[in-house]
A and B are shown apart, each in its own frame.
Chain A
Amino acid sequence: MNPSEFKFSEEHEWVNSTNNGEFTIGITDFAAGTLGDVVFVELPEVGSEIKQFEKFGEIESVKAVSDLFAPISGTILKKNENLTSEPELVNQDAYGDGWLITIAPKDLTELDSLMSSQDYGKFTESQSH
Chain B
Amino acid sequence: MDRSVAGRIGTTLPKLDVPVQDDPPKNLLRESLEMPELSESEIVRYLTQISTFNFSIDHNFYPLGSCTMKYNPKVNDDIAALPGFSEIHPLQEESTVQGALKLMHHLQNILADITGMAGTSLAPMAGAEGELAGMLMTRAYHQRNGDTKRTKILVPDSAHGTNPASAVMAGFEVISLNTDSKGNTDIEALKYVLSDEIAGFMLTQPSTLGLFDTNILEVVNMVRDVGGIIYGDGANLNALVGKLKPGDLGFDILHSNLHKTFTQPHGGGGPGAGAVMVSERILPFLPTPVIDRQIDKSNSEFYSFTRPEHTIGKMGAFHGNFGALVRAYAYIRTLGKQGVPKVSEDAVINANYIRTQLKGIYDLPYDRTCMHEVVFSARNLKRDYGVTALDVSKRLIDYGIHPPTMYFPLIVEEALMIEPTETESKETIDEFIDIMKKIAQEAEDDPGLLKEAPHNTPNTRLDEALAAREPDLRWNK
Residues of A that sit less than 8 Å from B by CB: 36-37, 39-40, 60-63, 87-88
Contact = CB atoms under 8 A, between A and B. Distances in A.
Nearest to A61: B465
A40 B465 contact: no
Interface string B464-477: 11001100000000
Give the interface SS of chain A, mostly helix, strand, loop or mixed. loop
Contacts of B465: 36-37, 39, 61-62, 88
A32 to B, nearest CB: 13
A40 B464 CA distance: 13
Interface of B: 407, 464-465, 468-469
Contacts of A40: 468-469
13 contacts: A36-B465, A37-B464, A37-B465, A39-B469, A40-B469, A60-B468, A61-B465, A62-B464, A62-B465, A63-B407, A63-B464, A87-B469, A88-B469
A61 B468 CA distance: 9
A39 B469 CA distance: 5
A98 to B, nearest CB: 14
- Residue with the highest number of chain A CB atoms closer than 10 Å, among B407, B464, B469: B469
A20 to B, nearest CB: 32
Contacts of A87: 469
A60 B467 CA distance: 13
A36 B465 CA distance: 9
Given A36-B465, A39-B465, A61-B465, 15 more contacts: A37-B464, A37-B465, A39-B468, A39-B469, A40-B468, A40-B469, A60-B468, A62-B464, A62-B465, A62-B468, A63-B407, A63-B464, A87-B469, A88-B465, A88-B469
A63 B465 CA distance: 9
Contacts of A36: 465
A37 B469 CA distance: 10
A61 B465 CA distance: 8
Nearest to B469: A39
A63 B469 CA distance: 13
Contacts of A60: 468
B275 to A, nearest CB: 31
B337 to A, nearest CB: 43
A80 to B, nearest CB: 15
A39 B468 CA distance: 6
Nearest to A84: B469
Q: Which 3 A-B pairs have the closest CB atoms?
A: A37-B465, A39-B468, A62-B464
Contacts of A62: 464-465, 468
A8 B468 CA distance: 29
B461 to A, nearest CB: 12
A40 B468 CA distance: 8
A87 B464 CA distance: 14
Nearest to A37: B465
A37 B116 CA distance: 47
A127 to B, nearest CB: 13
- Residue with the highest number of chain A CB atoms closer than 10 Å, among B407, B464, B465: B465
A87 B465 CA distance: 10
Contacts of A39: 465, 468-469
A37 B465 CA distance: 6
A82 B407 CA distance: 32
A38 to B, nearest CB: 8
A60 B469 CA distance: 10
Contacts of A37: 464-465
A88 B469 CA distance: 9
Contacts of B464: 37, 62-63
Nearest to B464: A62
A39 to B, nearest CB: 4
A88 to B, nearest CB: 7
Contacts of B468: 39-40, 60, 62
Nearest to A38: B465
A34 B468 CA distance: 18
A88 B464 CA distance: 13
